[in-house]
């Protein structure tokens, strides 16, 4: 069950971030209904700048390189409050075991590990109901991919 939940959260958060991000330093704002941005209600803002460690809420693996077009910040607001998604994908030539050991030292034991044809390790950090951070480390045979996604929700008054 934990593996399914972690996988679903990772995919959902990553899809939300990747749907509206690209490379560059552009910021877009507007009203809902703009199908290119996918906002269902309220206002939204998209920043396609690479997120910082502070925005991500966890450290970025030393020497890892941002995958072009994978990082950004989206904020959407509506009657239920604001939701901010921050995410990026990084890659490194270091092996999966080395990257997992580094993140385990920083974040503690992972939420789930999959060792099948695809080797993947996931951390899910939920300090409160308004914040979820998911870190996924995936073996890509010649490189290791690190996906970091943070979703925060501010409840409207």
56-113 per-position pLDDT tens digit: 999 999 999 999 888 888 888 766 678 888 899 999 999 999 999 999 999 988 887 7
State residue 15 phi and psi, 5-degree precision: -60, -40
Percent of the chain with pLDDT over 70: 64
Q: Calculate the alpha carbon distances from 41 to 13, 20, 99, 131, 152 in Å.
A: 18, 16, 39, 21, 17
Residue 81 CA to residue 122 CA, distance in Å, equals: 28
**Quick one: pLDDT at residue 37?**
45
Residue 117 CA to residue 90 CA, distance in Å, equals: 21
**Quick one: pLDDT at residue 150?**
93
Task: Give residue 156's pLDDT band: very low, low, confident or very high (50, 70, 90).
Answer: low
């Amino acid at each position: 069950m934990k593996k399914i939940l972690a996988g679903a959260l990772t995919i959902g958060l990553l899809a939300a971030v990747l749907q509206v991000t690209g490379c560059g330093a552009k910021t877009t704002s507007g009203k809902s209904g703009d199908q290119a941005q996918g906002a269902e209600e309220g206002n939204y803002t998209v920043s396609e700048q690479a997120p910082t460690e502070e925005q991500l809420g966890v450290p970025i693996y030393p020497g890892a390189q941002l995958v072009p077009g994978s990082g950004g910040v989206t904020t959407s607001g509506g009657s239920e409050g604001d939701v901010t998604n921050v995410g990026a994908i990084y890659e490194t030539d270091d092996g999966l075991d080395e990257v997992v050991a580094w993140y385990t030292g920083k974040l503690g034991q992972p939420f789930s590990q999959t060792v099948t044809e695809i080797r993947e390790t996931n951390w899910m950090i939920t300090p409160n109901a308004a914040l979820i951070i998911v870190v996924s480390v995936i073996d890509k045979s010649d490189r290791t991919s690190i996906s970091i996604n943070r979703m925060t929700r501010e409840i409207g008054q």
